[in-house]
Chain A
Amino acid sequence: MYSTLTPKCRIVESDLKCKSGCDYYGNAAWQGYCSVCHRKKQRALQEEREREALRQNRDSENAGLADQKLLQQDKNKSKLNAFSRLRKLPSKGQEQKFLLRELYNSNASDLDKIRVDNQDLLKVLDTALLKDLQRKMDNFLIEILEAKDRKKIEKLSDLTQIFYQNCSKSLEEKVDQREFSLEVKERLLDYIEKYTMTMLYRLLFCPPFTNDEENDLEIQKRIRQLNWVSVKNLECKIHETSVEVRELVYTSMMDLLNMDAAKAPQEKLACIVHCCSNIFLLLQQSVGGPASADEFLPALIFIVLKANPARLKSNINFITRFCNASRLMTGESGYYFTNLCCAVSFIENLTAESLNMTKSDFNAYMSGEGVPANTWESALMICENLHLICEDINLLQELKNENEKIFVESKNLEIDMLDFCNKIQVDVIDALNKSSLKFSTNQKVSLQLDGDVGTSLRMPSPVARKMDNELPENHVQQDMTEPNNFNSTLLQEKSPCPKLSLSDNNFSTKPQIHSDSGGLKHDDFDDASNDLMESNSSCNSLNSSECTNKNLSFSSIRMNMISEDYHGFSVQGSSIPTIPCNTGDFAFNLNVEDNSNK
């Protein structure tokens, strides 16, 4: 079902292909052509236009001259006037004006930023001078806009450089007249460059009528092929294993990558300068002294190889063409830029010899057949693993803390449980103290029972048994009034004992029964501790009159400390002749003491 429906929404692949029919994909921005075909088309168009322009010039040279005169006049007017006059010019001028305005609008934020950056400079200056500068810049912009479709990029570059020189000359006059210092002049020149180039960036950076883009792709591919080149191959002294050095390597790579984002050639240069000064910093740490060009150039090449900056050639070309030439010729930025050009040139012309390796090795690495042992990669891998180890250690630490917490909690729980236990004991004692009721049984019987197990087994007292038989029945009757499970179990235990003793004179089975019932009580104890207390008290209250403590009950088995106050279940004690194993001694002593007391 889906397979029949979805194709309707799909764009057929052929729709995405270049319109010219080459097998590449097209792009809406290139009128449906691929970049190569689009450029071809553009070039053909441009040639056509050039021919057209030439023909027009020849046809109406006079008219053209007049036109230029008009333009010239306009240039002498202020910016606003120039605009109003331009409107009267033929459609061509209008087109430029429209383009110029469009450029203003699209670059408004960048231009504002440049203005803000140079606010201190612009405030100081004479308004007439600034107006003059603005007029010059606008004229230059219009000139470039006019020329951009007809002239080669070199011509545009020439126009730009001539413009810079003119500005420089006119400003120099002002310096000579001591209107402002040399420094202000330089800054003004920078401002002019930034302003105009930011405006024209879209038109002049990697324009479709040059082969900049192809060069970009070529160098990008080349750098990708060279991704195996290591610090060792380049014999550069980057201390890869140091954390700080590695940080700086990444910082300088970032600086280089940022170059593509900057618009004005000056700003691009500044990115290069940043990158290079970071390289010097990392070399200083690696070499242990100020680095010379012997160390710097290989390091820069390494950084370029690892960073593989976007549109590298376009950026370099844009800077060489449209940056103020005097900036590129001299100064630190000029030196670094030259180094970058050298690095790129080295990468382009890299051979096996320039890396001091055999041709076969080099070819194997380039084709991806072999992969050299790369310290950089392995260092990165080690770092990665170290990082993982660190993470694991952290995790273990967390687990350990968690564990300790659990341990502490369990300790607390233990204390709580002990407290609870104590509390219960205290409560039980309280309860026992409060009530005067006691269980009691025949002293004789219990003495016999506890004193000598053997005898008791063989010779149960018929009198006691009789009493026992009577007593439980009383108890049952009274106990039944309480809805207590425990009591009912007591009853069940009590009742079979006499029966057994009566029906079968062999008492050897009796301990068995007792231990069973003891086990039952034990299991029920926790759950029914309250019940037990109640039953205790109830039992006690029942036997308050007899009040003898000769017998042990399960409660004395469970809690040894109640010995003094405890008086036992007389009924039960009488029915069960033996004492559970571990408390036997205790019970015996108790009984003996009681006996002696008696």
Chain B
Amino acid sequence: MASRGTAQRPNGTQGKICQFKLVLLGESAVGKSSLVLRFVKGQFHEYQESTIGAAFLTQTVCLEETTVKFEIWDTAGQERYHSLAPMYYRGAQAAIVVYDITNQDTFTRATTWVKELQRQASPSIVIALAGNKADLGNKRVVEYEEAQAYAEENGLLFMETSAKTAMNVNDIFLAIAKKLPKNEQTGNAGTSGQGRRLVESEGQKPTSGNCCK
């Protein structure tokens, strides 16, 4: 369900460009934006002037046949904004749920995110679970095996990452890119029809909320 379809099709050899919307979920301060900044800019705490925001970023990943362009939507992790999340992950083809391996609560929150995504997001959404701050192994609270088992149970991609050391950062995005359906047919047909409906319902959300008040 890549949007904007393909480019340079007549060339053939160039391959397709698939654009995907990826949404980042997780408690605040688990390092969602650090993870993305590491992936997109290769930065960690050494921000360049040009990096103004880390809420919306794009990055392309090259696979053998296709070029995957990620459009990464960060979400506010605070509990009070939890109810707004559906607006963000509506129409997303992939999601990374991030937790902090040194904080059990964040893992619990992550599992609720996963449940919510499986229930409400598009059924074909690719969900990845990322245990961030893996460099702080000595403060580990969430065991690797526990998370691994949970991920397998729910059919998630799972990696422990570290935005600080760049461990597994590119890998998890690459794994998602590989898992995403790049069938051109679904890509083109899907976007036009489905995409529109999604946006409309998105627009209706605040309206309906207003009516309920």
Contact = CB atoms under 8 A, between A and B. Distances in A.
Contact of A283 (B28, B53, B80, B205): B53
Contacts of B106: none
Interface stretch (B69-77, B139-147, B168-176): B69-77
User: Closest 3 A-B residue pairs measured CB to CB?
Assistant: A320-B203, A292-B33, A293-B74
Contacts of A154: 200
Given A281-B52, A346-B84, 9 more contacts: A168-B192, A291-B53, A293-B75, A293-B76, A316-B206, A320-B204, A326-B192, A331-B71, A341-B206
Interface string A272-298: 000001001101100001111110111
B123 interface: no
Contacts of B55: 280, 291-293, 296, 335, 339
Given A176-B9, A293-B55, A348-B209, A330 B19 contact: yes
A338 B88 contact: yes
Interface string A289-311: 11111101110000000000000
B4 A326 contact: yes
Interface in A523-553: none
Among A176, A331, A341, A345, max chain B CB count under 10 A is at A345
B54 A290 contact: yes
8 contacts: A182-B7, A280-B52, A291-B55, A292-B54, A326-B195, A329-B91, A330-B21, A338-B73
Contacts of B37: 290
A336 B37 CA distance: 18
A321 B203 contact: yes
Contacts, number: 152
Interface in B20-39: 21, 24, 28-29, 32-33, 37
Contacts of A338: 73, 87-88, 202
Contact of B29 (A178, A294, A335, A336): A294
Contact of A329 (B53, B56, B88, B198): B198
Among B54, B55, B88, max chain A CB count under 10 A is at B55
Contacts of B91: 329
A336 B56 contact: yes
B10 interface: yes
A292 B29 CA distance: 10
B185 interface: no
B207 A317 contact: yes
A335 B51 CA distance: 17
Interface in B180-213: 191-192, 195-196, 198-200, 202-207, 209-210, 213
A290 B47 contact: yes
A494 interface: no
Contact of B206 (A281, A289, A325, A348): A348
A248 to B, nearest CB: 12
Contact of A320 (B81, B88, B199): B199
Contacts of A348: 206, 209-210, 213
A161 interface: yes
Interface string A321-349: 10001101111100110110110111011
Contacts of A326: 3-4, 191-192, 195
A326 B28 CA distance: 30
A489 B205 CA distance: 108
A349 B212 CA distance: 9
Among B3, B88, B205, B206, max chain A CB count under 10 A is at B206
Contacts of A332: 56
Contact of B195 (A291, A321, A329): A329
A215 B9 contact: no
Given A176-B9, A329-B21, A342-B84, A289 B203 contact: no
A215 B47 contact: no
Given A292-B74, A320-B202, A219 B210 contact: yes
Given A330-B71, A345-B206, A297 B76 contact: yes
Interface residues of B, number: 52
Contact of B3 (A321, A329, A354): A329
A333 to B, nearest CB: 10
A563 interface: no
Contacts of B13: none
Contacts of B138: none
Interface in A73-98: none
Interface of B: 3-5, 7, 9-10, 19, 21, 24, 28-29, 32-33, 37, 45, 47, 51-56, 71, 73-78, 80-81, 83-84, 87-88, 91, 191-192, 195-196, 198-200, 202-207, 209-210, 213
A273 to B, nearest CB: 10
A316 B71 contact: no
B80 A354 contact: yes
A222 to B, nearest CB: 8
Contacts of A339: 55
A501 interface: no
A281 B51 CA distance: 10
Given A176-B10, A182-B7, A292-B32, A335 B56 contact: yes
Nearest to A281: B52
Among A292, A331, A344, A346, max chain B CB count under 10 A is at A292
A403 to B, nearest CB: 48
A161 B198 CA distance: 13
Nearest to B203: A320
Contacts of B71: 330-331, 335
A235 interface: yes
Contacts of B52: 277, 280-281, 284, 290-291
Given A182-B7, A325-B199, A335-B56, A294 B78 contact: yes
A99 to B, nearest CB: 27
B59 to A, nearest CB: 14
A27 interface: no
B77 A294 contact: yes
Among A154, A313, A319, A320, max chain B CB count under 10 A is at A320
Interface string A141-157: 00000000000001001
A294 B28 contact: yes
Nearest to B28: A294
B149 to A, nearest CB: 29
A469 interface: no
Contacts of B28: 294
A356 B78 CA distance: 12
Nearest to B49: A284
B202 to A, nearest CB: 7
Contacts of A298: 76, 78
Interface in A171-227: 172, 176, 178, 182, 215, 218-219
A165 interface: yes
B209 A345 contact: yes
Contacts of B24: 293
